[in-house]
C-alpha cells in the first residue's frame, strides 16, 4: 500500500517539492483567500478533494484519452468536480462560500491541478495518483494556513475570528497592522516564506 515510491508521492510535496514554494503553482488563490484563516482552511480542503479525485479519474481513463484533446478532457473532469464542491459549500457553509466568491470557481484554472494531472496522473496508476493528489493538496493547504495565520494575527489580531491579542496590549498602544489585510502583503508574506524555506534547503536556490 505504501511502498517507497508511494511515500515519496505523498510526502515530497509537503516541503521538498512543495507546489507553491518550489513548483510555483496555484499562486492566485494562495494570495487571494488568505486574509483570514477560515476561508483559507476551507479553500485548502476544497483543493485537496478536487485534486485527489481528479487525479484518480484522469489516471483511470489515462489510456483512453487521445493526447490531442487531453486538456479539454482534464478541464471538463475538473470543472465537474469543482461544481460539486461549490454546490456543497453553498449548501453547508454559505457565509464562507460568499467570502471565497469566485475563487472556488477558479480552482478549475488553478495551475496545481493542470500541473499534477499533466505531470503525474497521466503516467501513473490510480492509487499513487490519489496519494500524489492528497500530498500536493496538503502542501498547498499548509502554505495557505501559514500565510493566513500571520495575516490574520497581525492584521486583525484574531485567529479563526477569536480575539487572541489581549486588550491591555491595545491599551498600551499596540495597533493592528491594517496593511497585512491588503492584497500586496500576501505577496510579501509568501516571499518571506520562500526566503526561509530556501535558506534551509540550499539545493533549491536559483542562480539568478
For residue 100, what is its C-alpha cell?
471565497
Q: Which helix (H) or strand (E) holds 158?
A: strand 158-159
**Three-state secondary-structure class, residue 163:** strand
Nearer to another protein, 6 or 141 (CB): 141
In the complex, least distance from residue 77 CB atom to another protein, rounded to whole angstroms: 10
**Three-state secondary-structure class, residue 46:** helix
Nearer to another protein, 42 or 131 (CB): 42
In the complex, least distance from residue 195 CB atom to another protein, rounded to whole angstroms: 5
Nearer to another protein, 63 or 208 (CB): 208
Contact residues for another protein, defined by CB under 8 A: 24-29, 31-32, 71-72, 75-76, 79-80, 82-83, 86-87, 101-102, 105-106, 108-111, 114, 182-188, 190-191, 194-199, 205-208
Conformational region of residue 26, where left means phi above 0, alpha means psi within -120 to 50, and beta covers everything else = left
On the CB side of 156, how many CA atoms lie within 13 Å of its CA? 15
In the complex, least distance from residue 180 CB atom to another protein, rounded to whole angstroms: 12
Amino acid at each position: 500500500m505504501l511502498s517507497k515510491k508511494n511515500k515519496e508521492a505523498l510526502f515530497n510535496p509537503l516541503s521538498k517539492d512543495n507546489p507553491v514554494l518550489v513548483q510555483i503553482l496555484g499562486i492566485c488563490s494562495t494570495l487571494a483567500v488568505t486574509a483570514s484563516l477560515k476561508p483559507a482552511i476551507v479553500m485548502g480542503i476544497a483543493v485537496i478533494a478536487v485534486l485527489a479525485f481528479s487525479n484518480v479519474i484522469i489516471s483511470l481513463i489515462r489510456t483512453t484519452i487521445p493526447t490531442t484533446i487531453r486538456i479539454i478532457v482534464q478541464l471538463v473532469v475538473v470543472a465537474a468536480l469543482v461544481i460539486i464542491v461549490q454546490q456543497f459549500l453553498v449548501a453547508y457553509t454559505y457565509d464562507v462560500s460568499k467570502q471565497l466568491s469566485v475563487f472556488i470557481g477558479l480552482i478549475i484554472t488553478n495551475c496545481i491541478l493542470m500541473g499534477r494531472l499533466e505531470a503525474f496522473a497521466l503516467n501513473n496508476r490510480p492509487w499513487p495518483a490519489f496519494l500524489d493528489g492528497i500530498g500536493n493538496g496538503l502542501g498547498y493547504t499548509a502554505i495557505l494556513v501559514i500565510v493566513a495565520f500571520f495575516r490574520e494575527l497581525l492584521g486583525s489580531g484574531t485567529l479563526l475570528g477569536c480575539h487572541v491579542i489581549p486588550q491591555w496590549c491595545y491599551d498600551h498602544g499596540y495597533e493592528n497592522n491594517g496593511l497585512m489585510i491588503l492584497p500586496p502583503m500576501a505577496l510579501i508574506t509568501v516571499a518571506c516564506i520562500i526566503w526561509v524555506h530556501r535558506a534551509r534547503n540550499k539545493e533549491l536556490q536559483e542562480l539568478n
